[in-house]
Amino acid sequence: MSSFEEVFGRTPTATAYAPGRVNLLGEHTDYNDGYVLPIAIEQRTCVSMSPNSGDEHALYSEMLDSTVCFTLDNPPAEHFATYVYGCLVEAREHGIEVPMVDIHVQSNVPMGVGLSSSAALEVATLRALRALTGAPLDDVHIAQLAQRAEIEHAGVRCGIMDQMASSLADTRSALFLDTRTLERRLVPLPPVSVVLVINSGVARILATSGYNQRRAECEEAARRLGVAALRDVDNVSAADALPDPLRRRVRHIVTENARVLLAVDCGNAKDFGALMNASHASLRDDYQVSVPELDQLVALLQAHPLVYGAKLTGAGFGGACVALCEPQALREIAGTVLRNYESAGFAGRLLVPSPVEGNEAK
């Protein structure tokens, strides 16, 4: 690993951080103007910047041990760099004067598992740029620019949940967000409960998965139902006349929004867990974004006596599962579940709480 000083030969002018997130409820509802309930995780991305005297931006990724150079009029070919490039372009479009900069990225947010590593990178980049330039960007504006960067430059037609969570959430409370109005408030977890996250071992890439297809299906269903977005459908029976898979997509979005609203006022961990279990079933059967490995891992978590509920988290098609658990034995829960998962022929990994070096649950 190489620090900013080792790569660029001087200290950075500005440094900023942003966390990854895990979504407790509200999967695929954000691009339907619905409700979501994410929470930040301990892992975060660090972006450092300093102006340079050259005619190109230089971006170094510590994870990839690679440097990419580009201008805002000549986008980089490397996919990871398009997120940073997109943030700088969108900032310029927003009226911010973006100097030529050297950029250093370090992150322990796992990539490709549904914990919003891209949003953490985008938000940290824009926070560093804000610190460098003094740009008048509040945390909501940063999330909005980050979302535009991902849509316009990374090719993922994402909603705003990930960027809002990375910009505004913390690790102690969930962020209840109305993605249409951006009204939000922090919601404490139910008493005597904590979050556990396990990677299924199946990587997924949003831009090449069924994510954009699901969004297009929702937009077509909304068009046929005569509403601006599926957020405006109150009853699943409204979709009875639609063909599959549109009927199933509507059913998931309507019931998932309802689950988020129930969870916000739920002070009981068992009831909250039951909502998570129902969410996974809906994601598996109606939204069809689960895979056998995720289903196996979720079933093992749900069967553990100290787990209240579990589901896939993020877009699906692989990635991680999140569980709400009793707090006294998180590593015992993770160890038991991962051993049983391995016995079934799969390979998972504990993500949250962060594994202790040399003492990771397996």
pLDDT digits (tens, 9 = 90+) for 115-128: 999 999 999 999 99
List pLDDT tens digits, range 68-77. 999 999 999 9
Does 353 sit behind a cis peptide bond, omega within 30 degrees of 0 on the bond before it? yes
Q: Residue 273: which of 320, 322, 310, 328 has the closest Cα?
A: 310
In the chain, what percentage of residues exceed pLDDT 70? 96
Catalytic residue among 30, 33, 162, 286: 162
Q: What percent of the chain has pLDDT over 90?
A: 90
Q: Taking the mean position of all CA atoms in its chain, how far away is CA 322?
A: 12
Q: What class does CATH assign to 194-352?
A: alpha beta
Judge whether residue 357 has pLDDT over 50. no
At residue 273 the predicted structure's pLDDT band, cuts being 50, 70 and 90, is: very high
Edge-to-edge strand ranges of the sheet holding 194-199: 307-313, 320-325, 194-199, 349-352
Per the CB < 8 A criterion, the answer to whether 122 and 21 are in contact is no
State the Rg of the chain over Cα: 20
What class does CATH assign to 4-188? alpha beta
* Lowest mean pLDDT across 49-63, 141-155, 203-217: 203-217
Q: Let me know if 178 is a catalytic residue.
A: no
The length of the chain is: 362
Q: Evaluate whether 4-188 and 194-352 have a shared fold.
A: no
Please list, in sequence order, all residues whose beta carbon lies within 8 angstroms of the beta carbon of residue 186, skipping any fewer than 6 positions away: 169, 170, 173, 174, 175, 176
Give the separation between CA 227 and CA 280, rounded to whole angstroms: 26
Report the alpha-carbon distance of residue 282 to residue 276 in Å, rounded. 10
Convert 220-231 to b/e letters by CB count within 10 Å (16 or more is b). Answer: ebbeebebebbb
Does the structure show a pLDDT above 50 at 228?
yes
Distance CA 123, CA 84 (A): 10
Question: What's the pLDDT band for 358 if we cut at 50, 70, 90?
Answer: very low
Question: Can you read off the two tokens belonging to residue 182?
Answer: 């951006």
Chain position carrying tokens 């009226």: 95
Give the separation between CA 87 and CA 121, rounded to whole angstroms: 10
Residue 308 has pLDDT above 90, yes or no: yes
Q: 3-state class of 335 per DSSP?
A: helix
Q: Cβ(33)–Cβ(105) under 8 Å? A: no
Domains of the chain, by residue range, sit at 4-188, 194-352
User: What is the pLDDT at residue 355?
Assistant: 67
Task: Note the pLDDT tens digit of each residue in 131-180.
Answer: 999 999 999 999 999 999 999 999 888 889 999 999 999 998 999 999 99
Q: Name which of 161-170, 202-211, 229-238, 254-263 the model is least confident about.
A: 202-211
pTM for the full predicted model:
0.91
Q: What is the pLDDT of residues 6-33, one digit of tens each?
A: 999 999 999 999 999 999 999 999 999 9
**What six digits make up the tokens of 192?**
């005597």
DSSP letters spanning 98-147? ---EEEEEEE-SPSSSSS-HHHHHHHHHHHHHHHHH-----HHHHHHHHH
Compute the average pLDDT of residues 233-259. 97
Distance linking the first and last C-alpha atoms of the chain:
26
**Mean model confidence pLDDT for the chain:** 94
Residue 301 has pLDDT above 60, yes or no: yes
Joined together, the tokens standing for residue 80 give 């990871």
Q: Shortest CA distance to 105 belongs to which of 20, 41, 44?
A: 44
DSSP 248-269: HHHHHHHHHHHHHHHHHT---H
